[in-house]
Amino acid sequence: MARRRKSLAPKGRDDDVRYIAGFALGSILTAIIILVGAIAPPATIGPSEGELAPDFSTDAYSGASWENFRLSDSFDYEWEAGEDGEWILIQFIDTDCPYCWSEGEKMSSLHAQWSNNVEFITVAVELSGLSGHNSDRQEIEAFRDKTNYGTDDNDGDGCNSGRDNCINRPGTEHNWHYAEATSGIMSDWEISGTPFLAILEPNGYVAWNQYENSGESIEDAMERLVGGSQ
């Protein structure tokens, strides 16, 4: 009796099966990764601690000229706690606010101590409904640079509600960006008065909000969060 021969699979079929299975598995894993990313909760945006700082794009004065400035350009989204990185100190002022006038010296001192580890940003707002609060770009420039603008005759011409010539602002020249606020920026940051300070982590998340830490000074907060001054 003749023997039956076993049927043999065509050459290469096993390789094709393994390739197809591997491709399918890879597709499934990719789909899972995309799904996880899609359902991950988005970052909460706001000025409170633990939230991602509200982004803004506006004109800012660098000391030489006005140019477009976007806050999020300073964020390092890959930064993780414990790593080196550049923190951000953001200050909101009104150049006619007497408290902001006095805080000029403190900001100079902070910059001298922490400028190697921290980016400083000042946002100039104009508080509405207050007599003598009429900041224009020329006044913002003079406040930042400590240059001649106005008089010391309390005649409404100059900084500090028109009480002082901007050249006499306490502190040194502020060698960092002064951004021009809009009503949208003030609303997003919930600015109800000035001055206001916040410290952002290098990735843009709010680490310290002045309104939430009435018992801690900005100097102590910088020391605690950023580390020893230079």
Q: Above 90 in pLDDT, residue 101?
A: yes
Q: How many domains in the chain?
A: 1
Q: Above 90 in pLDDT, residue 20?
A: no
In this prediction, residue 30 has a pLDDT band, given cuts at 50, 70 and 90, of low
Looking at the domain assignment, is residue 28 inside a domain?
no
Q: What is the mean pLDDT of residues 12-21?
A: 55
Residue 155's pLDDT is what? 77
Q: Contact at 8 Å (CB) between 169 and 101?
A: yes
Neighbours of 189 (CB within 10 A): 21
Instruction: Report the CATH number at residue 209.
Output: 3.40.30.10
pLDDT 10s digits, 42-100? 789 999 999 999 999 999 999 999 999 999 999 999 999 989 999 999 999 999 999 99
Residue in the block written with tokens 């106005």: 150
Neighbours of 160 (CB within 10 A): 25
Q: What percent of the chain has pLDDT over 90?
A: 70
Residue in the block written with tokens 């990313």: 37
List 67's β-bridge partners, or say none: 60
Looking at the domain assignment, is residue 181 inside a domain?
yes
Mean pLDDT of the chain: 87
pLDDT 10s digits, 110-149? 999 999 999 999 999 988 766 667 789 999 999 999 999 9
Looking at the domain assignment, is residue 130 inside a domain?
yes
Looking at the domain assignment, is residue 22 inside a domain?
no
Residue 152's pLDDT is what? 87
DSSP3 helix / strand / coil % (the chain, rounded to 5): 35, 20, 50
Looking at the domain assignment, is residue 40 inside a domain?
no
Residue 63's pLDDT is what? 97
pLDDT 10s digits, 164-215? 999 999 999 999 999 999 999 999 999 999 999 999 999 999 999 999 999 9
Strands (E), 127-228: 177-180, 196-200, 206-209
pLDDT 10s digits, 140-155? 999 999 999 998 887 7
Q: Contact at 8 Å (CB) between 211 and 49?
A: no
Residue 108's pLDDT is what? 98
Length of the chain: 230
Residue 208's pLDDT is what? 98
Residue 105's pLDDT is what? 98
Q: Contact at 8 Å (CB) between 159 and 101?
A: yes
Q: Contact at 8 Å (CB) between 123 and 92?
A: yes
What is the C-alpha separation between 49 and 201, in angstroms, rounded?
10
Q: Contact at 8 Å (CB) between 93 and 125?
A: yes
In this prediction, residue 156 has a pLDDT band, given cuts at 50, 70 and 90, of confident
- Range(s) of the domain holding residue 178: 57-225
Alpha helices in 115-217 (DSSP H): 137-145, 183-188
What is the C-alpha separation between 197 and 213, in angstroms, rounded?
11
**pTM for this prediction:** 0.80
